[in-house]
Chains A and B, each alone.
Chain A
Amino acid sequence: MTSTAARPSSGPPVPPPRRWLAATTLIFLVGTQIFSVVTSEPDRDMGNLEKILYIHVPCAWMAMCASLFVLIASVGYLWTRDEKYDFIAASAAEAGTLFTALTVILGSIWARPTWGTWWTWDARLTSTAVLLLIYLGYLALRAATDDPERRARWSAAVGILGAINAGIVYKSVVWWRTIHQIQSAPSTMGIMYTWGLRLNAIAMLLVLAYFITTRYRAMCLERAAAAMAEDAALGGRVTA
């Protein structure tokens, strides 16, 4: 009878690779970007710079989406202590960090020709920068914690508090800017309902889904491999 007492958990079951998702996402992303760049009319105020918003805005949306995933998965982990929720949260956080960073950089690239500066303390840009720092803190904590169970618990707590704060940060920065009437970003309402934006948003959603599922699968594989290696080192039998 194999002793299971000290056996490390082999983690959540490894999902199958979804090759079609990568290909579909890539084709759709390229197609939709070409479509939106070619078919969109130069905006009355912004000129062709509006084309930057076709990526900038969906990136911002995906950053928010990812933080929602982090929140839900973190609550899920604390509720069930099932490691798969920790993996989902961590995968979503990585993707969220990327999209947040892109949002800030694209916002800066858009700001330069629009207002002549690389940075404005605009409410949305600033609060996105803070969100990026919150994400980075989450990743830094995970990197600094070795024990997987502790890392999962701590990440979940930090993830929940961070997600709660995202809304408060945004509100406080908005009030901070409006009271001082600093230049605010022109509304994106003008391009809100064009097909270019919608298609790009769908494309980015596919990218987010691809990132999260792929990272999740890699984490499951890593965990299973680590468990098998540890079992081999301990000399026990493994039911993989």
Chain B
Amino acid sequence: MAERLWAREFARVRAVAWKDLATERRTRANFNAVVFFAALTLLLFGFALGADTDAVKAASAGVLWLTVLFSGVLVFNRSYQTELDTGALELLLLYPGERWAIFAGKFIANLAFVLLVEAVILPLAVVLYHMPLERAPWQIVGVMLLGTVGFVTLGTFYAAMASRVRAREVLLPLLLFPMLVPVLIASVQATAAFLSGDVMGDSRVWVRLLVVFDAIFLVAALLAFEHVIEG
């Protein structure tokens, strides 16, 4: 009996995730816009930091992650937009079922979206900022994965609220970014450590922090989601 319930919830998760991703795949307009914005941000940071290659290289990890944050935040409100516009959210909530399944579905869809954006942006950043990715490519990809999970967890959670009030474009970053400070610090420090060869093993404490953060807030968001998604 318990397995059947779980199976039903997982089916629901898959359905929500698939619907979100399918909508996106059909038009791809949002994806292109976000990627374009991210690339633009990378360029602008380059201009802002100046022509000194050393300064640019030293800032590369930070710039990469800020770019991810600023462009990724555009994704989250959008993920609730279609349901809000069509009134499908009320319909979705009418069906019996665990609310965390809705969160899980949206989380997976958003995660896939942001990771795809990063897949395009990372090579661009490597080129523009002379990042020595080859020193620890898989570790850096791992850090990007961990950091993005934390980012998307909180982004999906807070967007459930922000997307439904006025001033949503400002409210989401205002709520989200202070909460992401540990993720930003840890991701940047770990990435920077790996880029410089991680001589001191600094990366370990940061990777551990990311894992702990992700675990805590994934659970917290799953548990609290039912309180924020209801009308």
Contact = CB atoms under 8 A, between A and B. Distances in A.
Contact of A169 (B181, B206, B216, B221): B181
Contacts of B209: 168, 171-172, 175
B40 interface: no
Contacts, number: 82
A164 B178 contact: no
A154 B161 contact: yes
Contact of A144 (B157, B158, B166, B182): B166
Interface residues of B, number: 33
B59 interface: no
Interface string B165-183: 1110001001101110110
B189 A176 contact: yes
B179 A134 contact: yes
Q: How large is the interface on A (under 10, 10 to 19, 20 to 34, 35 or more residues)?
A: 20 to 34
Contact of A153 (B178, B202, B227): B227
B186 interface: yes
Contacts of B205: 175
A140 B212 CA distance: 28
B110 to A, nearest CB: 17
A141 B228 contact: no
A226 interface: no
Nearest to B176: A137
Contacts of A72: none
Nearest to A176: B185
B152 to A, nearest CB: 15
A133 B224 contact: no
B213 interface: yes
The 3 A-B pairs with the shortest beta carbon distances in the complex, nearest first, are A133-B178, A172-B182, A144-B165
Interface of B: 154, 157-158, 161, 165-167, 171, 174-175, 177-179, 181-182, 185-186, 189, 202, 205-206, 209, 212-213, 216-217, 220-221, 224, 227-228, 230-231
Interface of A: 78, 130, 133-134, 136-137, 140-141, 144-145, 150, 153-154, 156-158, 160-162, 164-165, 168-169, 171-173, 175-176, 179
